[in-house]
Amino acid sequence: MSSLYEQLGGEAAVDAAVDIFYRKVLADDRISHYFDTVDMDEQAVKQKAFLTMVFGGPHNYTGKDMREGHKHLKGLNDTHFDAVLENLAATLTELGVGTDKIEQIAAIGNSVRDDVLNR
């Protein structure tokens, strides 16, 4: 059986999701300040890395990388984390992804919660 990432449509699915997800995140007052940098292209590349990872795609990030990569984000807590997952689920729904797959993706996200929140 093919991987979740392949079932979703691989890199093309990630590309389709980046725009929608990034727009939602920028419009979400709870978390937009974390993503509102001057260099939108650079930020889009990171969104792509994030989506590839939660889609179960190929990546080289470890839990330690997730810890290092987010620890400079001041005051990051569960509320922010849940907001990201919420925007992710809304993005996937918009793209017509079924609820069973959305749950699998949320589970991948949740598996790094403690690393991302550095605890």
Partner 1 sequence: MATVQFEDSMVSVASGSNLLEALLHAGHDIPNACRAGACQSCMMQVLDGELPAAAQQGLKATQKAQGYFLACCCEPQTHLKVQRNPASQSVCAVVVDKQLLPGRVLRLRLSSELDYRSGQFVNLVREDGLSRAYSLASVPELEPELEVQIRIHDDGQFSQWALNDLAVGDSLKVQGAFGDCFYTSENMQQPLLLAGTGTGLSPLYGIVRDALRLGHDGPIHLFAGARVADDLYLDKELKSLASAYRNFTYTPVVLEAEIQPDGIEVGDINQIMKAHYPDTKGMRAYFCGSPERVQKLRKQTFLAGASMQDIHCDQFTPSSQAVAA
Residues that bind partner 1 (CB under 8 A): 18-19, 22-23, 26-27, 36, 38-42, 44-45, 48
Beta-strand ranges (E) seen in 3-69 are none
| 56 versus 109: smaller Cβ distance to ligand HEM | 109
Stretch of 2-10, 16-24, 67-75, 89-97 lying at the interface with ligand HEM (CB under 6 A): 67-75
Stretch of 2-10, 11-19, 46-54, 95-103 lying at the interface with ligand HEM (CB under 6 A): 46-54
Using the rule CB under 6 A, which residue among 13, 56, 81, 87 binds ligand HEM?
Answer: 81
Is there a contact between 57 and 5 (Cβ–Cβ < 8 Å)? yes
Q: Which does 61 bind (CB under 5 to 8 A by kind): partner 1, ligand HEM, none?
A: ligand HEM
DSSP string computed for 65-90: HHHHHHTTSTT--HHHHHHHHHHHHH
- The rounded distance, in Å, linking the Cα atoms of 105 and 56 is 8
Is there a contact between 31 and 75 (Cβ–Cβ < 8 Å)? no
